[in-house]
Each structure stands twice: as structure tokens, then as C-alpha cells.
């Protein structure tokens, strides 16, 4: 039985979030510059997106650039941004052919102008696609997102549009960049690091976390299948007892 055949298609996570980590180390192991790792990371992105869409995953969110990544050397930032522009431009047709919608979360206005424009263009061209939504987290950090949500709610309270007692989970979620998306049930991080690194802190509250030593440029569909099989073998309790969960089945 192949790994893919082990996946129960009736119990797929509707949203998978990934921290693509290890590009730099992958390149260094090969005696190359870090950028070489990012370039090969694009192949992993392509294969993972294809694998997720083929299975029927509805949302796939990739952490492509964090707010903290702005602190990297300028040459690496420039190379990453031009790689993003190039990749988004080159892949828009394929996204359309495969009925995949592109969205982005993060402080998009802080991106270089050409990157912002390319992204807006690709999002607009793929807006009506239905099979899967590919979400790129760009210049994203969860604390930034949460603070923005708090500021927006505070503004509404100040203007008398919202009563503090009406601030519940739904009202708060609606102010996040991910408003309208299901919460990720599975979060994958590559490269052996066991951290969440300011990624979807609110949204990952009940997610299963899966860590693999594979460095991102080596990640392929098979690795995705492995993570999903692992996820499906876990019992999701949402604070209940194992007995309660079993009796609900
Ligand atoms: C983490 O590896 C990776 C990134 C910060 C960038 C991810 C970008 C890509 C895969 C390329 C383009 C993506 C898209 C969506 C088109 P690292 O540099 O932190 O590696 P290290 O931990 O080994 O140093």
C-alpha cells in the first residue's frame, strides 16, 4: 500500500499550514549560497501545491516571508523578493489551469512595489478559482496581525459601533488576515526546528503540529502524504476526554 493510498480522503484536513524551513542549511550543505536553497525551495512549493490540490485539500498556507525576515542581509531579501515576483509571474497560468486561487496574508504594503503589483495581479487573475486556495504569508507575523485586529476593534468601540461585550471569538477572527478561512487543522514545519515562530498563533489553537527533519528544498508530495497519514492517526480531542470523543463517533 502506498502512502497516498493510506490517506482517508473523507478525513482530510481542510487547511494545512506550512513553515518552509531549512533552505539556507540545504544550500550550505552543498557548499552554495543561501539563495540557491530558496531557488530549489520553489520546486518543493510546486510539488506540495500540486500534491495538496490533487488530494482535495481546500486551503494551503505557506510561510514565505516573515516580518522578522526583513532583518536578513539585504542581498538575501532582494533575491527572495525577485524570486517571489518571478515565481508568481511564471506560475499564474498553472494556478489557473489547476483552478487554484492565490491569496496572501501579511503586511503586503511593506513589500517592494513590483512584488506587491505582481501579487495583486495574480490574486485578481485567480480570484474565481475554486479547487484550492493557496495562501502566501508574506511580511507576515502573527503578533502584528493580532495587534492590528485589536486596534480595529478598539476603533469600532471608540466610535460606538461595537460594544466591548460583543467581542467574541467570531468578532476577533473576522479582523484577522485569515477572516473567512477555516482554521488549519495541521501545521507542518520542516528542518527539525520545533517552534511556531510567530505563525498563525490564534488560528493554530487546536491544530496538530507535525515536525520533520527534511529540509524544505527536499520536501515533496510523499512528505506531505506522510504528514497527513500521521495527522489522521492522531485523536483530536478539543479539550474533551478520549472516551467522550470515542462515544461521539
Ligand atoms: C526558510 O529557510 C525559507 C524562507 C525564509 C523563504 C521561503 C521561500 C521560498 C521557498 C521561495 C519562494 C516561495 C514561494 C511561495 C514562491 P531559511 O532560509 O530560514 O533556512 P535556514 O533555517 O536553513 O537558514
Q: Quick one: pLDDT at residue 229?
A: 98
Contact residues of ligand 1, CB 6 A cut-off: 20-25, 34, 38, 41-42, 45, 62, 64, 69, 83-84, 87, 136, 191, 216
Asked if 162 contacts 155 with a C-beta cutoff of 8 angstroms, the reply is: no
Q: Are 212 and 43 in contact (CB under 8 A)?
A: no
By the 8 A CB rule, do 53 and 224 touch?
A: no
Q: Are 25 and 32 in contact (CB under 8 A)?
A: no
Q: Is 213 left (phi over 0), alpha (psi -120 to 50) or beta?
A: alpha
71 contact partners, CB below 8 Å, separation of at least 6: none
Cα(46)–Cα(13) distance, integer angstroms:
20
Mean pLDDT of 136-141: 98
d(CA 228, CA 4): 9
Check if 159 is active-site: no
Is residue 35 pLDDT above 90, yes or no?
Answer: yes
Query: What is the tens place of the pLDDT at every residue in 68-124?
Result: 999 999 999 999 999 999 999 999 999 999 999 999 999 999 999 999 999 999 999
69 is catalytic: yes
Q: Which of 199, 69, 77, 64 is nearest to 141 (CA)?
A: 199
Tens digits of residue pLDDT in 214-231: 999 999 999 999 999 999
Judge whether 55 and 98 are in contact, CB under 8 Å: no
Measured CA to CA in angstroms, residue 214 lies from 137, 142, 203, 225, 230 at distances of 21, 25, 25, 14, 15
What's the 62 CA to ligand 1 centre distance in angstroms? 10
Q: What residue's CA is closest to ligand 1, atom 7?
A: 64
Ligand 1 test: best mutation among 64, 134, 198, most atoms within 8 Å of CB?
64
Pocket test for ligand 1, best of 17, 23, 115 (most atoms within 8 A of CB): 23
For a ligand 1 pocket test, name from 24, 69, 76, 87 the mutation site with the most ligand atoms within 8 angstroms of its C-beta. 24
CA 148 from centroid of its chain's CA atoms: 19
Nearest alpha carbon, ligand 1 atom 24: 24
The 3-state DSSP class for residue 140 equals strand
Ligand 1 midpoint to CA 24 (Å): 7
Name 98's Cβ contacts closer than 8 Å, sequence gap at least 6.
50, 53, 131, 132
Q: From ligand 1's centre to the CA of 156, what distance in Å?
A: 37
Going along the chain from its start, the domains and CATH numbers come out as 3-142+183-235+242-248 (3.40.1180.10)
Q: 156-207 pLDDT, tens per residue?
A: 999 999 999 999 999 999 999 999 999 999 999 999 999 999 999 999 999 9
Task: Tell how far the Cα of 122 is from the centroid of ligand 1, in angstroms.
Answer: 21
Amino acid at each position: 500500500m502506498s502512502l497516498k493510498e493510506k490517506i482517508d480522503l473523507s478525513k482530510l484536513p481542510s487547511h494545512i499550514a506550512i513553515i518552509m524551513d531549512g533552505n539556507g542549511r540545504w544550500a550550505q550543505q552543498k557548499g552554495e549560497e543561501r539563495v540557491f536553497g530558496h531557488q530549489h525551495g520553489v520546486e518543493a512549493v510546486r510539488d506540495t501545491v500540486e500534491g495538496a490540490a490533487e488530494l482535495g485539500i481546500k486551503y494551503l498556507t505557506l510561510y514565505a516571508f516573515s516580518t522578522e525576515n526583513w532583518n536578513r542581509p539585504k542581498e538575501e531579501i532582494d533575491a527572495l523578493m525577485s524570486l517571489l515576483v518571478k515565481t508568481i509571474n511564471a506560475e499564474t497560468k498553472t494556478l489557473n489551469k489547476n483552478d487554484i486561487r492565490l491569496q496572501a496574508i501579511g503586511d503586503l504594503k511593506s513589500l517592494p512595489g513590483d512584488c506587491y503589483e505582481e501579487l495583486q495581479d495574480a490574486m485578481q487573475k485567480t480570484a474565481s478559482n475554486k479547487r484550492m486556495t493557496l495562501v502566501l504569508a508574506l511580511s507576515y507575523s502573527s503578533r502584528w496581525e493580532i495587534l492590528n485586529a485589536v486596534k480595529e476593534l478598539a476603533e469600532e468601540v471608540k466610535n460606538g459601533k461595537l460594544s466591548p461585550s460583543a467581542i467574541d471569538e467570531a468578532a476577533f477572527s473576522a479582523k484577522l488576515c485569515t477572516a473567512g478561512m477555516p482554521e488549519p487543522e495541521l501545521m507542518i514545519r520542516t528542518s527539525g526546528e520545533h517552534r511556531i515562530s510567530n505563525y498563525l498563533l490564534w488560528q493554530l489553537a487546536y491544530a496538530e503540529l507535525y515536525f520533520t527533519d527534511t529540509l524544505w528544498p527536499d520536501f515533496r508530495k510523499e512528505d506531505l502524504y506522510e504528514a497527513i497519514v500521521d495527522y489522521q492517526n492522531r485523536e483530536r480531542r478539543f479539550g474533551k476526554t478520549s472516551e467522550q470523543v470515542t462515544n461521539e463517533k
